[in-house]
């Protein structure tokens, strides 16, 4: 018997959520599928299956728990959806967005005003 979870009105298979969170954690760490697969001791193809909903075994989860790249993969989050420690919101962003925030934080006030103006201009052209 398969367990289903109701998520904002949609039936979701819990293994799909695990796959989604594996991908989310891989992207947070800035790793390619082939890189994390090697660290986990599986093929890239098998890693792709995990991200699509196949459940990894205990050996893979143990390997994932030991990854530091430079951050640690949050296995508790992958399995339960609950973070084991608070995570800076910027760390969960895709790499391009994270780089934008990092660059913004490194700017002086004049540089920040330029970035803010460009963001306003860009969002106005999208809305038009």
Angle (CA) 7 58 69, round 5°: 80
Question: What's the predicted TM-score (pTM) here?
Answer: 0.59
Residue 2 has a pLDDT of 42
Residue 5 has a pLDDT of 46
Residues 6+ apart with CB under 8 A from 19: 50, 51, 52, 53, 54
Look-up of token digits 């954690």: 25
Q: What is the pLDDT of residues 10-69, one digit of tens each?
A: 455 666 899 999 999 999 888 999 999 999 999 999 999 999 999 999 999 999 998 876
Q: Which CATH superfamily is domain 1-85 in?
A: lambda repressor-like DNA-binding domains (1.10.260.40)
Strands (DSSP E) found in 65-105:
none
What's the DSSP call for residue 43?
-
Residue 6 has a pLDDT of 46
Classify residue 64 as exposed, middle or buried by CB count within 10 Å of its CB (0-12, 13-18, 19+): buried
Domain boundaries, the chain: 1-85, 93-128
* 3-state percent breakdown (helix, strand, coil) of the chain, nearest 5: 60, 5, 30
């Amino acid at each position: 018997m398969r367990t289903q979870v109701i998520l904002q009105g949609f039936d979701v298979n819990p293994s799909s959520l695990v796959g989604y969170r594996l991908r989310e954690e891989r992207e947070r760490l800035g790793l390619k599928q082939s890189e994390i697969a090697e660290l986990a001791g599986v093929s890239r193809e098998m890693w792709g299956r995990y991200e699509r909903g196949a459940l990894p075994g205990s050996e893979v989860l143990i390997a994932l728990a030991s990854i530091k790249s430079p951050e640690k993969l949050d296995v508790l989050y992958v399995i339960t959806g609950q973070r084991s420690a608070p995570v800076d919101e910027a760390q969960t962003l895709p790499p391009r967005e994270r780089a934008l925030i990092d660059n913004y934080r490194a700017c002086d006030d004049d540089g920040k005003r330029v970035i803010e103006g460009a963001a306003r201009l860009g969002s106005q052209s999208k809305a038009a």
